[in-house]
Structure 1
Amino acid sequence: MNRVVHPIEQESFRRLRARLDTSRFPALTRAVVERVIHSAADLDYASDLVLREQDLEPAHRALHSGTPVVVDVEMVAAGITRRDTVCRLRDARPGPGLTRSAHAVRLAYEDVGPGAIWVIGCAPTALEELLTLDADPALVIGLPVGFVGAAESKAALRESGLPAVSNVSEKGGSAVAAAALNALLYHPTSYEENP
């Protein structure tokens, strides 16, 4: 089923491209960068995001082959279109040295096992917990937001060597994380140009 792109979205991307030349990016990188910028109306993401095409290509194939998608919060799940997600935050309980978000990651890992795509847009502690597991993810979209632990957790993700989309600064959030995954969902499997 082809996605119908609303004229407002088409015009928004036209204006984005008029203000920022994204043609230098490889196809999937360009799709993610543009969709994230579009979600936040923040052109600085073009230089703040850290991602590699060689990570995105196998993740794109995995996503379109039905690999499970795990999210840290319902806000991320709400922003992801055309795909069911796993979110265990409602079942999670904090404990000594363990936040509710970190516990939710443990519960989700018990559900999906290794090889999932993880989308973390809210809680740095969720990303930190994921890095302690043997999750062998197809991709980690690690874009939590905040002044405490967000930049550090994303730096730890990059240092882990896992296939990832992250950013350097403290900004991020549910909408941005969902947008990064949607970029891969919307991108055709033939690697043609994105709308």
Structure 2
Amino acid sequence: MVRHYHQLGILPPPERSRSNYRLYTQENVQQLRRIVALKQQGFQLSHIRELLTSDAAIEVKNLTHQLQQQYHSVMQQMARLRQTATALEGLIGRDRSCQNLQAEAIAQLRLLEVESQDGLVQLEQLWENWDAATHAHPEEFQESLQQLLPDLSNRSEIEIDLLSKLVLACGDVSLVNFIRVGKGAIAAARHALTQGCEIIGDVAPVVAACDRTRLSHLGCPVTTLIADPHVSSVVEAEQAFWHQSQWQEQLQQLPAGCIFVVGYAPSVLIAACDAITKGHFQPALIIGMPIGFSHAPAAKRRLMRSGIPYITVEGTMGGGLLAAVALNALVESTIEKPDCHCYLGK
């Protein structure tokens, strides 16, 4: 591969020893590390060459256009994979009541011919016939999840319950691959909840989705950081926190030992991490699931490096509902299984 990179012009040709051995410098090694890192992020070699060898001021517009094209191509591939996953979920995600139908469906698929438009119509008819069976009984979500979730045998019972509830909240089993539960996060959450800690949400819609009944049973008060009833969207939350200093000042005064739930504004999570670094904020747990395409992933990475127990979803995924569902799952398991210590050994 190194020789290939030389041929492409990504790596400059190295000097040679008298015995004709290639002599690489530390700068060459660093360049190679950059190439490997960019490849792992999905960049094509042609884009890597432009990134590392072109004059950024001249090529940035052209390269940005190319990267946009690559992004749209990746999204199309993901859409096709999502369609395949949906078809598989429709088959293997059936509960016991649908097992006979499942066997029949697989048998029919084996005989299906879709080389013509008539075949596609036949496939649509099969889906309609299978969908008709859903009227016979309610869906058994736990049975479906058992068929679809990856192997979670290395997770505790409490964490599996948390992951399952998050998947059911969004209907996407792949979310499990992006959920990150920090070391000691579940223990910290359960201890704080049993001590009647304060629950603070970043905006009113997040707070509204919290299980007030169970939290009241635990003696946990619930408050809102951006206490503006007119803030009801991610855009409004981000702008309000960024432009109105009162909310930033209030964050600095949040009580130690609280559970901080961020489901909307990435700037709130970034500011919380700053306050933690400066010693101004010491929560028991942060549930950090803001939405955003550049700031949110960065904010989540900072959270995972903060040293504070956390629960987050890597990348752009998240939202107020998922953040509240994560909190509610912890609250419910704390009440329903107060003597469970399975999470301590994981």
Q: Please indicate the TM-score interval, normalised by the length of the shorter structure.
A: 0.7 to 0.9
Name the structure 1 match of 2:267.
125
- Alpha-carbon contact 2:261-2:288 (below 8 Å) kept: yes
The 3-state SS of whatever aligns with 1:71 is: strand
Q: Which residue of 1 aligns with 2:148?
A: 19
Q: Given the two structures, how large is their TM-score scaled by the length of structure 1?
A: 0.81
The structure where helix makes up a greater share of residues is: 2
1:13–1:38 Cα contact (<8 Å) kept: no
Which stretch has the larger CA shift, 45-54 or 68-77? Answer: 45-54
Shift of 1:43: 0.9
Aligned residue identity for 1:87: T
Asked if 1:190 corresponds to 2:339, the answer is: yes
Cα contact 1:70–1:87 (8 A) shared by 2? yes
CA-CA distance at 1:11 after TM superposition:
2.5
Q: Report the alpha carbon displacement of residue 76 of structure 1 after superposing the two structures with TM.
A: 1.1
Structure 2 residue corresponding to 1:85, chosen from 214, 222, 227:
222
Deviation at 1:51, TM superposition (A): 0.8
Aligned-pair CA distance for 1:87: 0.1
Residue 169 (1) aligns with residue 309 (2): no
Q: 1:155-166 counterparts in 2 under 5 A?
A: 155-166=301-312
Partner of 2:173: 43
Where 1:87 maps in the other structure, the secondary structure is strand
Residue of 56, 76, 79 corresponding to 2:186: 56
Write the letter of the residue equivalent to 2:305. E
For residues 141-191 of structure 1, give each alpha carbon's deviation from its aligned partner in whole angstroms, at most 9, with x where no partner exists: 001112131111000101112110112110100010001111100102222
Q: State the distance in 2 between where 1:31 and 1:174 align.
A: 19
CA contact under 8 A between 1:121 and 1:143: conserved in structure 2? yes
Q: 1:116 to 1:42 in 2, by over 3 A?
A: same
- What's the CA shift string for 1:99-127, capped at 9, x where partnerless? 168853542552x4211110101110010
Structure 2: unaligned runs, 5 residues or longer:
1-137, 216-220, 232-236
Q: How many pairs does the alignment contain?
A: 182
**TM-score computed with the length of structure 2 as normaliser:** 0.48
Task: Note if contact 2:297-2:315 (Cα within 8 Å) is conserved in structure 1.
Answer: yes
1:5 is matched with which residue? none
CA 1:104–1:97 in 2, change beyond 3 Å: closer, same or farther? closer
SS class of match (2:247): helix
SS at match of 1:190: coil
Partner of 2:300: 154
- Relative CO higher for 1 or 2, CA cutoff 8 Å, sep ≥ 6? 1
Change (3 A) 1:101 1:183: farther
- Counterpart contact for 1:143–1:167, Cα < 8 Å: yes
Cα distance in 2 between the residues matched to 1:63 and 1:128: 24
User: Which structure's CA Rg is the greater one?
Assistant: 2
CA–CA distance in structure 1, aligned partners of residues 260 and 327 of structure 2: 9
* Alpha-carbon distance, 1:40 to partner: 0.8
Question: 2:315 & 2:263 partners in 1: Cα distance?
Answer: 13
Q: Distance in 1 between matches of 2:247 and 2:304?
A: 22
Q: Name the structure 2 match of 1:99.
A: 242
Percent identical among aligned pairs is: 25
Is the Cα contact below 8 Å between 2:291 and 2:318 reproduced in 1?
A: yes
Q: Which moved more, 1:117-126 or 1:139-148?
A: 139-148
Task: For 2:244 and 2:147, locate their aligned partners in 1 and report how far apart those are by CA, in whole Å.
Answer: 39
- Give ranges in structure 1 of 5+ residues lacking alignment: 1-7
